[in-house]
Amino acid sequence: MRSAIIVFPGSNRDRDMQLALRQASGQEPHMVWHKDTDMPEVDLIVVPGGFSYGDYLRAGAMGALSPAMRTVKERSGKGVPVLGVCNGFQILTEAGMLPGALMRNAGLKFICKQVHLRVESAQTVFTSGYAQGQVIRVPVAHNDGNYFADPDTLKHLEDRDLIAFRYVDAEGAESEGSNPNGSQMNIAGIYNESRTVLGLMPHPEDAIDPLHGGIEGKGLFHGLAQALN
């Protein structure tokens, strides 16, 4: 699997993503600076976490206008899978590649902790490494992860099975206590219509080594590497 990671001023999980993709695919990801519009042919593009442009105006608003994002949109239009994690998810919503918006956490605090996610659909290129309904433990680290969309959009996401991950408790049950940031319908990640774009707030790339405290994020990268090889 050939991959590219977009690097913005203020990205800080780009190296973690590089490690995760290298570990899963055995191939070195291309690091693409946000000002570059030419990108090698790749099988996967990743928009990583961090605080691109210092979260100025709105988290992801400036990053969405980067020259590299024009290429990302163009490639995505041709069917190249795009993964956005944390700030990457915010950028993809601001760029109009995913519906809804990510607002300030309901508790107004930056949250950095392990959470449990339920894999809502194992039938996509991103989740083939997991079983349907599997519960995985991965970390979140964000200030603006509160997913918001209007009622029609939420209904559409649910009806079309476009919700990728939900925040749940260790037993896999949705509850208010398992929702760290106030996201509607406990949404942690969503797909676009064709399920070739995935945005999620939690960091699977930070759960790939026993030293991370868990390796349950590995399934995502190994699934991708297998599907896109």
Partner 1 sequence: MKATVHVTLKTGVLDPQGKAIGHALGTLGFQGVGEVRQGKVIEIELAQTDQAAAEAEVKAMCEKLLANSVIENYAIRIDP
CA distance 186 to 196: 22
* Least gap, CB of 151 to partner 1 (angstroms): 10
**Binding status of residue 108 toward partner 1 by CB under 8 A:** yes
Q: Write a three-state SS string for 15-42.
A: HHHHHHHHHHHCCCCEEEECCCCCCCCC
Among 15, 58, 73, 156, binds partner 1 (CB under 8 A): 58
Among 21, 80, 103, 162, binds partner 1 (CB under 8 A): 103
CA distance 142 to 154: 22
Among 18, 93, 124, 196, binds partner 1 (CB under 8 A): 93
* Least gap, CB of 201 to partner 1 (angstroms): 16
86 is catalytic: yes
3-state secondary structure of 119: strand
Among 33, 35, 106, 110, binds partner 1 (CB under 8 A): 106
Instruction: Return the structure tokens found at 229.
Output: 């090889």
Q: What angle do CA 154, 202, 11 make, to 5 degrees?
A: 110
Which residue in the list 203, 212, 216, 222 is annotated as catalytic? Answer: 203
34 is catalytic: no
Type of residue numbered 149: A
Residues near partner 1 (CB under 8 A): 57-58, 61, 65, 93-94, 99-101, 103-108, 148-150, 182
Active site residues: 86, 203, 205
